[in-house]
């Protein structure tokens, strides 16, 4: 009998974000490789051809109530089905937290795969009870998927006994956001250098660092630059701070909001540089960064902070330039370097295109689901 993978997630497109992209892409790749998959996702989630889905008819988040409802739905399903050939993939933080909190109530032995995106290790080890429950959950899993060396090192340091079942498999660009155009088409205005940043407007994504670094460039250099920020406005006070910094700049700045994939693809195609300077916070970290590979696939040189798992997605000096978090002077120097040197942009961009081709979701799905 063929095994069936049940991907449990509270995040799924049209909601953008790393975990949502991960869940959709691994489901599409598994289905395309004849692996039986059912996605348990919020009822408003996108329906993809060929991918079986099960609606979660409540407001999915990390609250205790949401965790309890997912647990109850799973328990009801388990009690009415033969689960010998089923694997439950806890694919993002919300579903992981539900089984951390309540999974021990199910007495029937279940098969689990757990994905660690990065912030789970920070959030699940902050208090003694969750820390103990997290370790118990890790020990129950058949496989633990991590996307970067950073995540693996943090996990093994916390729970060394799970090293043998921990699989390091990097992610890949979103399948509908892989670049195909030539580098000669990067900019729609040859007199301007177009910089793109993709990520929710939030202190953890560090958009203020970018603007502060631009402020250190000369007025003449600033006049050559157009910056577009793509992403939803999560923190109003942070957005207000961004606007206040913008008012001091000669740079043209546009806040594009949460774009469709079609518009985002056009923005990648018409840009010259990609920048996302994620900052480490006490409860959140950039575990990998799919957007860096998306941008590389379009031939864009990357500027990023050296934090979390970013170094698994960006090769310093080859596909991008890395800076230490909080080093505004260093960030400004990297920006100036790429703004003034179009040959360097082209060289790094070409290397990035080659690099991005190494990453596919087929590899992730087959590596994670096909071996026993």
Going along the chain from its start, the domains and CATH numbers come out as: 4-168 (3.40.50.2000), 183-356 (3.40.50.2000)
Name the strand (E) or helix (H) holding 143.
strand 143-146
Lowest mean pLDDT among 79-88, 187-196, 208-217, 347-356: 187-196
Average model confidence (pLDDT) across the chain:
93
Beta strands in 239-340 (DSSP E): 252-257, 273-276, 302-305, 320-323
pTM listed for this prediction: 0.92
pLDDT value for 3: 85
- Per-residue pLDDT band for 112 (boundaries 50, 70, 90) equals very high
pLDDT value for 181: 54
pLDDT value for 57: 92
- Per-residue pLDDT band for 204 (boundaries 50, 70, 90) equals very high
Mean pLDDT for the stretch of residues 272-278: 97
- Per-residue pLDDT band for 283 (boundaries 50, 70, 90) equals confident
For tokens 């059912």, the residue is 38
Q: Among residues of the chain, what percentage have pLDDT more than 90? A: 83
Helix axis angle, 207-215 relative to 236-246, nearest 10°?
10
Considering only CA atoms, which of 228, 154, 210 is closest in space to residue 326? 210
Mean pLDDT for the stretch of residues 361-370: 94
For tokens 């509270």, the residue is 10
C-beta atoms surrounding 324 within 10 Å: 10
**Residue 131 and residue 238: Cα distance in Å, rounded?**
31
User: With 80 as the cut, is the pLDDT of residue 159 above it?
Assistant: yes
Residue 25 CB burial class (10 angstroms; 0-12, 13-18, ≥19):
buried
Mean pLDDT for the stretch of residues 57-80: 93
Mean pLDDT for the stretch of residues 327-356: 97
**Residue 14 and residue 12: Cα distance in Å, rounded?**
6
pLDDT value for 107: 80
Helix axis angle, 18-32 relative to 361-369, nearest 10°?
70
Mean pLDDT for the stretch of residues 108-119: 93
Q: Are 120 and 93 in contact (CB under 8 A)?
A: yes
C-beta atoms surrounding 281 within 10 Å: 14
Mean pLDDT for the stretch of residues 156-173: 96
pLDDT value for 372: 55
**Residue 173 and residue 180: Cα distance in Å, rounded?**
13
- Per-residue pLDDT band for 371 (boundaries 50, 70, 90) equals low
Lowest mean pLDDT among 29-38, 174-183, 275-284, 322-331: 174-183
Mean pLDDT for the stretch of residues 327-343: 97
């Amino acid at each position: 009998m063929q095994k069936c993978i049940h991907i449990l997630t509270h995040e799924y497109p049209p909601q953008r974000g790393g975990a949502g992209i991960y869940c959709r892409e691994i489901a599409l790749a598994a289905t395309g490789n004849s692996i039986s998959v059912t996605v348990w996702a919020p009822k408003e989630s996108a329906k993809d051809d060929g991918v079986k889905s099960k609606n979660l008819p409540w407001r999915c988040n990390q609250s205790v109530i949401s965790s309890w409802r997912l647990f109850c739905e799973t328990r009801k399903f388990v009690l009415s089905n033969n689960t010998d050939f089923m694997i439950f993939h806890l694919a993002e933080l919300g579903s992981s937290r539900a089984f951390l909190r309540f999974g021990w109530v199910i007495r029937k032995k279940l098969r689990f795969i757990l994905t660690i995106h990065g912030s789970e290790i920070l959030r699940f080890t902050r208090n003694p009870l969750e820390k103990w429950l997290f370790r118990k959950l890790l020990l129950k899993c058949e496989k633990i998927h991590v996307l970067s060396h950073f995540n693996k090192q943090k996990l093994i340091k916390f729970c060394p006994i799970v090293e043998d079942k921990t699989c390091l498999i990097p992610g890949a660009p979103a399948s509908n956001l892989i670049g195909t155009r030539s580098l000669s088409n990067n900019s729609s205005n040859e007199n301007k250098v177009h910089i793109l940043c993709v990520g929710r407007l939030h202190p953890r994504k560090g958009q203020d660092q970018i603007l502060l670094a631009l402020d250190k460039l000369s007025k003449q250099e600033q006049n050559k630059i157009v910056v577009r920020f793509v992403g939803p406005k999560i923190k109003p006070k942070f957005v207000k701070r961004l606007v206040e910094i913008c008012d001091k700049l000669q740079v043209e700045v546009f806040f594009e909001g949460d774009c469709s994939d079609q518009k985002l693809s056009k923005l990648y195609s018409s840009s010259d540089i990609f920048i996302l300077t994620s900052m480490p916070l006490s409860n959140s970290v950039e575990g990998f960064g799919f957007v860096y590979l998306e941008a590389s696939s379009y031939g864009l040189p990357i500027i990023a902070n050296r934090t979390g798992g970013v170094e698994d997605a960006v090769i310093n000096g080859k596909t991008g330039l890395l800076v230490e978090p909080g080093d505004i002077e260093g960030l400004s120097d990297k920006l100036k370097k790429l703004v003034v040197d179009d040959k360097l942009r082209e060289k790094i961009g070409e290397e990035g295109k080659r690099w991005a081709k190494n990453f596919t979701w087929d590899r992730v799905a087959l590596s994670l689901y096909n071996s026993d």
